[in-house]
Chain A
């Protein structure tokens, strides 16, 4: 099921004009605060009435102003996961989970509770009330509550933003499973490049109320002109597969034939995963380096040099593993005479690859 969004809305001092179609999977609506992503998701939920537009999940049309069609929120068949979980304080975890289920059509699958409870690992919490849960537990219950409503569209509004790093790492895998196991389109609002790299099937990047770019996660993150947050967020994403785990705490990955060594990952050999390589962690060498401590050396050619406004430049390298972005100074780029077509090596220290940047 695909997702189709087109919206026009005027707010004081801000005009939103957004239109995109996304294939099945998880679509990350990416942008800084004030870019309009919250307006889009609220319009999709029916909590805000836009001036004009249409939103449809597959053939389920939520609204279409041209056709004078407007479903109220409760008839949109949504699973909305909020930033602050919004669990009902007077209900137990079990009653919270089943809340949307009560209102779902009778034809909706029964006996789903056990499967969702098992998937989210909330079985031991069922009789508790939300006030007694940790932030991560609350968000897991909120995910379950959205799933059990048998939604036709899952909306997630920065569901990890209110959590600390450890809780984020705890919740991210559940969204990965959600993306891989459900056929329901997911619209996921985020301003975190990590979440884009880990979760996105499709990225729609918003800037000042317009779609700035759209593509797969690898395409958008591999674009040297794409600056998530700041230039410090530049980092391409490689798709790889676990080959083996080594005794010294490293895992060996296969990225389209290239070998990568990363700190130990929990995935079993054979499983696919994504690795985000931060631009500032990549060193460029013109000859194959020898006797260095860095474990990953990828041969490739320069594709593009994109100078920034400051002293730096982002260099796109085409390697066997995929596109890698490197941040270097303009001085180094000039000294090495980096230009499209130049053969070179990308050097990546294993320890610089953060655990949250590696995942399914």
Chain B
């Protein structure tokens, strides 16, 4: 079974899973918070925040990658700051995760925001009158009710992170074992003569992983939705 894929291909699959996992996990807290702000708060400049959040979705990925390179490269302002505390993201797998996370962020926020807008604010009011502070209202009422949205958003974000290409290759390049994720590997194999077989195998892997994630999320979402709706 293990010799079905070559070591280089295994490396790409493993790296992709790692990158997508950490990207999704990393953006989850900020995604929930941002969705909450967009769904529940009213403030001047809300449309600007909304636009910023959606920017990676509408910009060409190469542009996002280039902006990341300027910001987080070793000479970039944020990259330099991170380097001070010993974190280097440029040309590392963590950089690939950062690029994937930023590209997946709008999708995650959209999904969570939609489910948060479906939560009746009257339930949150009721919780407040029963003694729950804003924090506890969120933890005990809002969060459980938006779990299906969080889950669905995470799966979409994970899939997006797995498939991220443009921003990743621009920001962290295409280094086997470091930043060569699955789509980058497919691209590389297609650049060399006789690489079609390896590329095809990786294509099958992507399809299987994507479908598996989707089915898993459907099953989980249905179970959670049933719990939440109390039927």
Contact = CB atoms under 8 A, between A and B. Distances in A.
A89 B122 contact: no
Interface in B190-231: 227-231
Contacts, number: 80
A78 B129 contact: yes
B228 A90 contact: yes
B190 to A, nearest CB: 48
B130 A129 contact: no
Interface in B120-175: 120, 122-123, 125-134, 136-137, 140-141, 144-145
Q: How large is the interface on A (under 10, 10 to 19, 20 to 34, 35 or more residues)?
A: 20 to 34
A100 interface: yes
B125 A131 contact: no
Contacts of B126: 80, 82, 86, 88
Interface stretch (A69-77, A115-123, A232-240, A292-300): A69-77
Nearest to B230: A129
A84 B122 contact: yes
B contact patch SS: helix
A99 B101 CA distance: 37
Given A86-B122, A88-B127, A88-B141, A74 B231 contact: no
A125 interface: no
A13 B120 CA distance: 28
A103 B141 contact: no
Contacts of B128: 46-47, 72-74
A163 interface: no
A254 B162 CA distance: 82
B132 A103 contact: yes
Contacts of A131: 229-231
Contacts of B122: 82, 84, 86
Interface of B: 120, 122-123, 125-134, 136-137, 140-141, 144-145, 227-231
Given A74-B129, A76-B129, 5 more contacts: A74-B131, A74-B133, A74-B136, A80-B130, A90-B144
Interface of A: 45-47, 72-80, 82, 84, 86, 88-90, 99-100, 102-104, 129-132, 145-146, 149, 155
27 contacts: A46-B128, A47-B125, A72-B128, A73-B128, A73-B129, A74-B130, A74-B131, A77-B131, A79-B129, A82-B122, A88-B123, A88-B126, A88-B141, A89-B145, A89-B228, A89-B229, A90-B141, A90-B145, A90-B230, A99-B130, A100-B131, A103-B130, A103-B131, A131-B231, A145-B130, A149-B131, A155-B129
